[in-house]
Amino acid sequence: MENKEYDLQRGLKRRHLTMISIGGTIGTGLFLASGNVVSNAGALGGPIAFLVIGILVFVLMKGLGEMSTFMPIPGAYTTYSGLFVHPVLGFMVGWNLYINGFLGLGAEIVGGGMILNQFFPSTSTFIFCLCISAIILFLNLIDVKSYGEAEYWFAGIKVLAIIVFLIIGVLMIFGVIGEQGFIGFSNWNSESMFPNGLTAVIIMMTGVVWSYLGVETVVSAAGEAENPQKNVPRAINTIFLRILIFYVGSITIIGLVVPYQNVSVLSNGYAGLLGLAGIPGAATIMNIIILTSLVSAANSIVYFLSRTLIALSKEGKAPKALGKVNKRGIPMNAVILTLFLGQVSLITNFISPDKVFIWLTSIAGFNTLLGWFGSYLSHYKFRKWLVKNGGSVDKLKFKMRTYPIPTLLCLAALIAIAIYTAYRPETRFSFYIGVPMLILYFIAGTYLYKKGKIHDPSYKPFLEAHIHDKEIK
């Protein structure tokens, strides 16, 4: 029987890509991790932490957008770092991203299990984690167009829920609804704004970094999107506005309405605010929405990581079997492996779920720094690589203005956050786990590179299309 090879399919339409970019990141990081951030950083410190990291994300996506419209491929992180900087860095970024991602996947599954456990306390979180995993597996084994359709509606539910939440929160602040009357800025006082000082705000930034994990899905999806040179820029250009509204906006509303002492991982500020508004069954309604969001975010992570494995496989950085795609355009082996590794969440059967959740998000947050560092550095090097190979910056379909100042500032900020993470006792454990992992990636990548196993991706068709100013199909 002929062993036919298949490729990924460009089945994602513009509306799929737009909604994935809007809702792909909205999940555990916003709905549950935000409670931990506000309770520690404070009513004003929480929004500041989300805003600072949101600015880093905006610059990150501008750089990735510039590279991905030139070369729209799955697994963009590892490819860009390896091609524009050095193959060993590409190996490190790719595997760090993958391992970091399935830790994040574990946190999403844990979060969903925790929500379901509140509805059915007699059933173990372990069982719920298995059920959620089965749903995610099913959604990722359909063709990519069906995946895009599912995410379109999942993201729509999340976006609508947050918009309603923001409207209710604003009405509560002005005393239109709720029994508290006019709240105004009364919850922003000397005790609540920064209860643990500015150092706590910086400490919480590592966790906030993880909250934005998944924003890069839209870049990876460019490899399976229709007309990526037009649709990817449209999705990226509104990212900062979405960060301000959905992340900073909703965290600010929580800080203004809900006392910071009343929020945590298990007692999220979203349900708390709706409860204070006097909406019947508020906690139940919000928990159902959060559960939907967690499944959606986990679904996006599996999609993103399976495409990362394809890139690693094609460049000799992972076994060839992980790069195989079936006739529906689905990388079966990569999807199954990713979800299997995501079952790290099942350790919640033996340890407190909320503690495991914080551990996973802290480790994943620190390790995300390398992926972002690689992307910033790739973007800094990209234009020089392009010109050296006969291309022109003026011909790029999407360009970051004021290059390279924002990129260099973000590189410095990431280094500062990493150093501070190592310095503070509260976050040092994530540094102790993360750094040895990075050293292992470096050793393995260097070994494969010296053995000649790692090779460049097939970039020449994209370069030719750029030079001759042709549209990428």
- Per-residue confidence (pLDDT) for residue 114, from 0 to 100: 79
Query: pLDDT above 70 covers what percent of the chain?
Result: 85
The pLDDT of 179-204, averaged and rounded, is 86
* 4 vs 377, more confident: 377
The pLDDT of 238-257, averaged and rounded, is 85
CA dist 173 and 253 (Å) reads 8
Who's near 314: CB < 8 A, 6+ residues apart?
323, 457, 458
Burial of 245 (0-12, 13-18, 19+ CB in 10 A): middle
Q: Please, what's the b/e burial string for 47-57 (b: 16 or more CB within 10 A of its CB; e: otherwise)? A: bbbbbbbbbbb
CA 95 to chain centre: 16
Who's near 261: CB < 8 A, 6+ residues apart?
39
The pLDDT of 304-309, averaged and rounded, is 86
pLDDT at 285 over 60: yes
pLDDT at 89 over 60: yes
pLDDT in tens, 454-473: 988 888 888 998 988 877 66
CA 256 to chain centre: 26
The CATH number of domain 14-467 is 1.20.1740.10: yes
* 100 vs 460, more confident: 460
Domain ranges of the chain: 14-467
pLDDT at 405 over 90: yes
* 386 vs 224, more confident: 386
pLDDT in tens, 384-398: 999 999 999 999 989
* 151 vs 27, more confident: 151
pLDDT in tens, 50-68: 999 999 988 998 998 899 8
Torsion of CA 181, 184, 187, 188, to 10 degrees: -170
pLDDT in tens, 320-353: 898 888 888 788 999 999 988 888 756 655 566 6
Angle, helices 353-388 vs 405-423, to 10°: value is 150
- Per-residue confidence (pLDDT) for residue 451, from 0 to 100: 92
